[in-house]
A and B are shown apart, each in its own frame.
Chain A
Amino acid sequence: GQQLNQSPQSMFIQEGEDVSMNCTSSSIFNTWLWYKQDPGEGPVLLIALYKAGELTSNGRLTAQFGITRKDSFLNISASIPSDVGIYFCAGQRRAGGTSYGKLTFGQGTILTVHP
């Protein structure tokens, strides 16, 4: 079963507001990934984080890899209607040995943006 706790489960915000969501784990991951899923589509990668403490931006998105390697957050600034969707965090352990880079997903955060 899933080992990641993602929060909040859902958010209803006004256009222009900032959004923050996070994921925590009971175990360490080597890579944290954030995906977005639009209605009727598959998850699309937004940001990948490879080092503890890393802070990465992609346009209005900013994500950080927690220093303990057990958590990550995603911020969206100045939200727009097309930000609507489900956001998933995913943890990945380094491929090698018995690990093949399997992804463990959070439960998802459903984001609704009101114009």
Chain B
Amino acid sequence: DAGVIQSPRHEVTEMGQEVTLRCKPISGHNSLFWYRQTMMRGLELLIYFNNNVPIDDSGMPEDRFSAKMPNASFSTLKIQPSEPRDSAVYFCASSLKGGLVDIQYFGAGTRLSVL
């Protein structure tokens, strides 16, 4: 069974460019999370979707970041314009929310370098 699939695995771009990260959650999961990982701040939750609807976007750094989930099998995280301080590893995770406990399964991540 395929896990969470993220693309691209690596992205190198120049400051000011638009960056789009993609995620395909595990089939049947109804919750999707975007995280950012840096040495300084560890793993930070950026945004959480449930049934394709954004529920908690309090972790989104600023207006340059936006996320969408047009359907249950696809989500994007966009940064426009990108800045060097956005360099990090971005993870997507999905889970099946419905009981008292939901386990999040992570993708392999996208390593973003903004020059």
Shortest CB distance B102–A (Å): 5
Q: Which of B48, B55, B95, B106 contacts A42 (CB under 8 A)?
A: B106
The 6 closest A-B pairs by CB, nearest first: A42-B106, A105-B43, A43-B106, A101-B102, A42-B109, A42-B108
A74 within 8 Å of B (CB atoms): no
A45 within 8 Å of B (CB atoms): yes
How many residues on chain B are close to A (CB under 8 Å)?
A: 25
Contact indicator B108/A41 (Cβ below 8 Å): yes
- CB-CB contacts below 8 Å: A84-107 with B: 88, 92, 94-96, 100-103, 105-107
Report A-chain residues with C-beta under 8 Å of the C-beta of B95.
101
Shortest CB distance A90–B (Å): 8
Contact indicator B108/A40 (Cβ below 8 Å): yes
Q: Which of A31, A35, A41, A42 contacts B101 (CB under 8 A)?
A: A31
Q: How far is the CA of A25 from the CA of B4 in the complex (A)?
A: 29
Shortest CB distance A96–B (Å): 8
Q: Which of B4, B43, B101 contacts A88 (CB under 8 A)?
A: B43
Contact indicator A33/B45 (Cβ below 8 Å): no
Interface residues on chain A, size class: 20 to 34
Report A-chain residues with C-beta under 8 Å of the C-beta of B50.
100
B104 within 8 Å of A (CB atoms): yes
For B3, the closest partner residue in chain A by CB is A42
Chain A 35-65 interface mask (CB, 8 Å, partner B; 1/0): 1000011111100101000000000000000
Report B-chain residues with C-beta under 8 Å of the C-beta of A92.
101
B105 within 8 Å of A (CB atoms): yes
Report A-chain residues with C-beta under 8 Å of the C-beta of B93.
42
Report B-chain residues with C-beta under 8 Å of the C-beta of A106.
42
